[in-house]
Amino acid sequence: MNLCAAKALSDEDWREYLYGSLAVARELGHAPNSSLIAFAGAHPNAGQRRLSAEFMEHERVRPIERVAILTDSELLRGAMTAFGWLMPNMKYRAFKPADSGVACAWLAEVSRFDETIAVAAWKDACQKLSVAW
């Protein structure tokens, strides 16, 4: 689960996020095969997305099987739905922020976790970070 409430993301912030995530995965002994993410403020820019791809290749990070993106952008949700029709095996899907339970159910199709606990943790994180959709 990743909830970014930052107002700005520097390249250094983004590197810290990437390497911090890798450290957690190594500490746990495995990488996630699904992820729930949302950016409530700043979003990674094109350079940071390129940095992510380079990071994953350099660190040999295996691709995540499914990624659920919570966004209030109708445009992004619509575009991702259209891509899903064109590419049914696409592993990214966008949901309204209020649909975190539906997003978790989609992720649970490929991951083992307690959906009720995941949704509660998501809502708790939003509350603690003062993220109101």
Q: What is the pLDDT of residues 11-43, one digit of tens each?
A: 999 999 999 999 999 999 988 889 999 988 888
**Domain segments of the chain as ranges:** 2-128
Please say whether the beta carbons of 65 and 33 come within 8 A.
yes
pTM (predicted TM-score): 0.83
The per-residue pLDDT for 19 is 95
Predicted confidence (pLDDT) per residue in 68-115, tens digit: 999 988 888 888 888 777 777 778 899 999 999 999 999 999 999 999
The H-or-E segment that residue 124 falls in is helix 115-128
DSSP 44-108: --HHHHHHHHHHHHHTTPPPPSEEEEE-S-HHHHHHHHHHHHH-TT--EEEE-GGGHHHHHHHHH
